[in-house]
Structure 1
């Protein structure tokens, strides 16, 4: 049997590292962390204070997404402190999103696309 300790990181493919870093740092507010000297470009980010990480991997290919935000497609989720503040921040920065304040999940959800059309869920407790 495998004994799980927790999720360590998620990785997404990006095609333009500078553009991706701008989104993940300036829109999502993630803090870049030190990354080993791999033979390909990318970036690592700390997600919160829990030790979880997000890894960006530069790849010349493309994602399979060409439509809008599909909440049932593969994605990763980041828990945020405030649903309302996150909605306001995304609107202020002109970021297209799909909001589900009364999600059947029991927590509020917001879905966005990064510049390479990777789907990201931002979710918060319903108060």
Structure 2
């Protein structure tokens, strides 16, 4: 048996409207059809999907406040890191640069979920 592909990551959010603003409008992810009845949204990123699932009252807490990359997170690639940083900051989202020396940053959605964004 061999695992051949990573298919999706499920992210828990408390407010679907705010989450759609972050993932769809600010990050610019492409929304795709979702054949399920309970609340949520799916986004396509290349061959991979991000699935948002709603749980009212959810709030992600960080175990490592100083280095966001040392908390549970998923990573996206961009062709223009400086533009996405400016976009995140203009919408009031915090940005923490990677301390590894790579062209990468970390941000948090409205519920505190950590997202790494790396320059390709």
Structure 1 length normalisation: TM-score? 0.81
How many residue pairs align between the two structures?
118
Distance 1:91 1:13 in 2: 23
Distance 1:87 1:7 in 2: 26
Q: Where do 5+ consecutive residues of structure 2 fail to align?
A: none
3-state DSSP class of the match of 1:71? helix
Q: Which runs of structure 2 are paired with 1:60-75 in the superposition (5 Å)? A: 60-65=56-61, 70-75=68-73
3-state DSSP class of the match of 2:25? helix
What displacement does 1:96 show? 1.0
Cα RMSD (Å): 2.0
1:123 equivalent to 2:110? Answer: no
Q: Contact between 2:60 and 2:113, CA under 8 Å: does it hold in 1?
A: no
Aligned to 1:19: 18
Name which one, 1 or 2, has greater alpha-carbon Rg.
1
Aligned to 1:93: 91
Structure 2 length normalisation: TM-score? 0.86
Distance 2:77 2:40 in 1: 23
